[in-house]
């Protein structure tokens, strides 16, 4: 169990404790991962864009109303050549209501292209979310196995330190009775100090990898965590080198990021059609309905004042409704080559998307070749490490007995002990490396297990 402290927290704060398996870590990371949340937000935004694209096929409806409680205007009016112009002051209250609808009948297929582009982007966002979740699972798996490896290496270093200390105790007793020289004692003390340093370094690596896991889990850094693997977590997978052609076929069918990039390429192609729409005429059907009324109308001129009476405003609004229906045709004959630029820009974007798609496909094949070679090397490393461990253990036990009897020196004992320590460490590293490489293969083919 590793206890982590953070300087930003007050002294005496009680640390939480969690016992986590790989499945627990994956669940926590998926719920907290920023990349997954951003991918979900982007998917939601693309869904709104699809709805907006569908809305372009529907009529636009605009309602407006104006209420003027008091309006004053002053003008001059010439009623007769013999009479000077009169200054007229007009005061009134008015209400106007307008309902306008507009339906696009043709706009160069811009709306259709926009809808197809939005649909492809939405599907691409779904695959991007899937890949983001797979990346979280892959990342957590890598650090989870790294902690298990560092914990095992720490246990090996501690066992090695205990063995050296026991040997130091024996050497000290033999020195006291004259069976070992003072040089042997000093050498054994130096070996114990070096082994103690190895333990400290192993503890540091353990703490660092645990902190990196906590960073990705995005939980309270004061949390005490204990990793408790289930029996089937260390899945070593197949025991022979996988077929690269089969894996490439699977990857090209299953990789979510490749599907996403393909759909983004299709969306970019539809954007070319959308840009070209400005070269065509746009035809709209407009329907308007309006009504209005006056609360009062008062005019003053030449010292006289006249006020006109109107029916109630509600009656005026009901009886003054007017309608208009019209077709509106717009055709941009010349726009300073703006449309041409937009089309070329859309074409370049489509070409860039195609290049990205092909690059991704090639990188998938290359990554799989590297992953297969690394997996095969990990298999061979396990076999060689097992042989090395058996031989190193036998050699160390034999040399240890000879050293205790005075038949061999400290150099041979130290070399044999170092070989045994390295062999145990190499076997542990090879075991977890195989599990890590299996995870790399799953991630590279897009078949990494999801919760």
Percent of the chain with pLDDT strictly greater than 70: 93
For 144, the token pair is: 């989870």
Mean pLDDT of the chain: 87
- Name the DSSP class of 277: G
pLDDT score, position 290 = 94
Q: How far apart are CA 159 and CA 183, in angstroms?
A: 24
In the structure, what pLDDT confidence band is assigned to residue 116 with cuts at 50, 70 and 90? very high
* Strand ranges for 239-382 from DSSP E: 282-301, 304-308, 322-330
pTM of the model: 0.81
Where do the structural domains in the chain lie, given as residue ranges? 17-32+108-281+335-445, 61-106+285-330
Which tokens is 364 given? 């998938």
Q: Tokens 């052609």 belong to which residue? A: 245
Distance separating alpha carbons of residues 86 and 84, to the nearest angstrom: 6
pLDDT at 78: 67
Tokens 């205007």 label which residue? 73
What was the pLDDT predicted at 12?
44
Question: CB burial class (10 A; 0-12, 13-18, 19+) of residue 283?
Answer: middle
- Please say if the pLDDT value at position 370 is more than 60: yes
Bridge partners (DSSP) of residue 104 are: 284
Considering only CA atoms, which of 322, 324, 330 is closest in space to residue 284? 330
75-94 per-position pLDDT tens digit: 877 666 666 777 888 888 89
Under 8 Å between Cβ of 84 and 99: no
* Of 128 and 394, more confident: 128
SS3 296: strand
Q: Could you tell me which CATH class the domain 17-32+108-281+335-445 is placed in?
A: mainly alpha
Task: Give the pLDDT of residue 80.
Answer: 65
Residues 313 and 95: their CA atoms lie apart, in Å, by: 8
CA distance 372 to 441: 7
Write the pLDDT tens digit of every residue in 188-232: 788 889 889 989 999 999 999 999 999 999 988 888 888 888 777
3-class SS of residue 272: helix
Residues paired with residue 17 on neighbouring β-strands, in sequence order = 224
On the 0-12 / 13-18 / 19+ scale of CB atoms within 10 A, 244 is middle
Task: Give residue 18's pLDDT band: very low, low, confident or very high (50, 70, 90).
Answer: confident
For 2, 154, 195, 207, 291, the CA distances from 203, given in Å and listed in that order, are 10, 6, 12, 6, 83
Contact 137, 449 (CB under 8 A): yes
Mean pLDDT for 67-78 is 84
Take residue 246 and report the two structure tokens written for it.
């089969």
């Amino acid at each position: 169990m590793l206890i982590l402290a953070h300087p930003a927290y007050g002294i005496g704060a009680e640390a939480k404790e969690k016992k986590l398996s790989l499945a627990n870590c994956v669940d926590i990371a998926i719920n907290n991962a920023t990349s997954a949340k951003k991918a979900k937000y982007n998917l939601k935004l693309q869904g709104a864009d699809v709805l907006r694209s569908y809305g372009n096929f529907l009529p636009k409806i605009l309602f407006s109303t104006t209420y003027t409680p008091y309006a004053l205007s002053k003008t001059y009016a010439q009623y007769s050549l013999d009479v000077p112009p009169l200054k007229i002051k007009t005061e009134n209250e008015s209400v106007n209501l307008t309902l306008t609808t507009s339906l696009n009948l043709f706009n160069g297929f811009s709306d259709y292209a926009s809808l197809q582009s939005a649909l492809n982007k939405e599907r691409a966002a779904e695959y991007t979310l899937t890949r983001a979740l797979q990346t979280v699972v892959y990342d957590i798996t890598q650090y989870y196995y790294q902690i298990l490896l560092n914990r095992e290496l720490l246990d090996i270093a501690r066992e090695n330190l205990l063995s050296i200390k026991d040997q130091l105790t024996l050497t000290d007793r033999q020195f006291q009775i004259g069976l070992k020289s003072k040089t042997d004692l000093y050498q054994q003390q130096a070996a114990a100090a070096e082994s103690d340093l190895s333990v400290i370094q192993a503890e540091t690596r353990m703490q660092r990898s645990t902190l990196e896991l906590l960073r990705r889990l995005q939980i309270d850094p004061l949390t005490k965590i204990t990793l408790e693997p289930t029996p089937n977590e260390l899945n070593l997978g197949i025991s022979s080198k996988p077929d690269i052609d089969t894996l490439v076929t699977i990857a090209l069918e299953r990789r979510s990021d490749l599907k996403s990039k393909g759909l983004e390429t299709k969306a970019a192609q539809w954007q070319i059609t959308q840009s070209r729409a400005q070269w065509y005429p746009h035809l709209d059907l407009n329907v308007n309905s309006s009504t209005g009324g006056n609360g009062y109308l008062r005019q003053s001129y030449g010292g006289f004042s006249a006020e006109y009476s109107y029916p109630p405003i509600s009656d005026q609004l009901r009886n003054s409704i007017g309608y208009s229906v019209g077709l509106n045709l717009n055709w941009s004959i010349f726009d300073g080559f703006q449309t041409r630029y937009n089309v070329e820009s859309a074409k370049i974007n489509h070409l860039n998307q195609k290049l990205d798609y092909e690059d991704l496909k090639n990188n998938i094949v290359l990554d799989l070749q590297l992953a297969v070679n690394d997996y095969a090397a990990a298999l061979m490393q396990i076999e060689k490490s097992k042989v090395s461990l058996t031989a190193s253990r036998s050699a160390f036990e034999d040399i240890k007995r000879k050293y205790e009897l005075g038949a061999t020196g400290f150099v041979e004992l130290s070399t044999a002990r170092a070989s045994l320590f390295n062999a145990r460490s190499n076997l542990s590293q090879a075991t977890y490396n195989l599990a890590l490489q299996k995870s790399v293969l799953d991630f590279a083919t897009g078949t990494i297990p999801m919760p």
